[in-house]
Amino acid sequence: MKRNRLWLGVGLLSLGALSTSCSKEAPAPQAAPAPTAAPPAAPAPTAVAPEPPPRMAYAKLVSFFRPSASQAAVAKKDTAERIALGRMLFFEPRLSKNHDISCNTCHELASFGVDGKATSPGHKGQLGNRNSPTVFHAAGHIAQFWDGRAATLEEQAAGPMLNPAEMAMPSEKHVLATLNSIPQYVKAFKTAFPGDKKPVSVTNVARSLAAFERELLTTARFDKYLAGDEQALSEQERRGLNLFAGSGCTTCHNGPSVGGTSFQKLGLIEDYPTEDKGRFDVTNDEEDMHKFRVPTLRNVEKTGPWFHDGSVKDLATAVRLMGKHQLGMTLSDSEVDDIVAFLKSLTGELPGPELLTPPQLPPSTASTPKPDPT
């Protein structure tokens, strides 16, 4: 079997459906969406059984997925009132111009935080040029959006409301007029932000959404494995994890979210055909050309289609492509099967109805701006 085991440590970069929360990753208002390149052909599997990498010790394997000191330091405590308000706002379609799009439209919580589409339709059916990543585990990311243009959940949460291709609210003034026209929201903001002179603000909308999104976590069998139960994974899943780590994939897909901690070039070893410049559009630094924030692999089995453009519809194909373009490896059928088995062990249990069920939203009043389809 032909392969080039470089072990450069950048594996499976773009499997996630990723970023973050509350955005379908639309292009900037004045920029036309970049054309979506067809995914490259996956390398043909080989029939010869490869020699497996040496077994890593359990302690070494679990060390890849521990939180870093910086991740532990930025953990935030949110009040129940802010979380409850954020939940309402997450499901609130009146934060869109035509009252037909909420955060949950593109990030369906009951479907592991994705809508299952390559790119998501926004106002008047406009499509973005990037896949809507899962909102689950977004709080553990180094930055938000595929290109990392928002440093925090709070910074990201305010963007989609005012993006003409997404929720298309015409101005912050319009957002505030909508919220202030609904007495229950005015009361909820005062309760959540008791020290603010003007608690109803776009800043506090973002803070509330971020507080809610930090609650969006899942627990999988893999967590039992990390906690010391080595039998929580099957023999095949353990082989897949060993291959995943031994091939260098954990250099990028690490930490509690199994990703989200760095930016990496798509096509590190072998060029990947895409017109999307990635992080370069944010920094104008040639070093960032075709770099994307590494997505979480938590629940990756459920968050397809995969890659930044949603062009890959089969998880095994995604694994083959990442082996080829990120590691310079041609994976065998058995290797792909083992890695996919491991990835499926990352599928967790969704939170309960206290988070996932759409809450009863307060009614509009005579002064609430009407839906506007224009």
Active site residue 215: no
Q: Facing residues of 219 across strands? A: 349
3-class SS letters over the chain: CCCCCCCCCCCCCCCCCCCCCCCCCCCCCCCCCCCCCCCCCCCCCCCCCCCCCCCCCHHHHHHCCCCCHHHHHCCCCCCHHHHHHHHHHHCCHHHCCCCCCCHHHHCCHHHCCCCCCCCCECHHHCECCCCCCCCCCHHHCCCECCCCCECCHHHHHCHHHHCCCCCCCCCHHHHHHHHHCCHHHHHHHHHHCCCCCCCCCHHHHHHHHHHHHCCCCCEEHHHHHHCCCHHHCCHHHHHHHHHHHHCCHHHCCCCCCCCCCCEEECCCCCCCCCCCCECHHHHCCHHHCCEEECCCCCCHHHCCCECCCCCECCHHHHHHHHHHHHHCCCCCHHHHHHHHHHHHCCCEECCCHHHHCCCCCCCCCCCCCCCCCC
In contact, 177 and 184? CB cutoff 8 Å? no
Q: Output the CA torsion sign for 106, 109, 111, 112.
A: positive
In contact, 264 and 10? CB cutoff 8 Å? yes
Exactly one of 25, 92, 154, 166 is catalytic; name it. Answer: 166
Amino acid code (one letter) for 359: P
Residues in the chain: 374
* Tokens 């997505």, residue located: 295
In contact, 139 and 286? CB cutoff 8 Å? no
| Residues known to be catalytic | 166
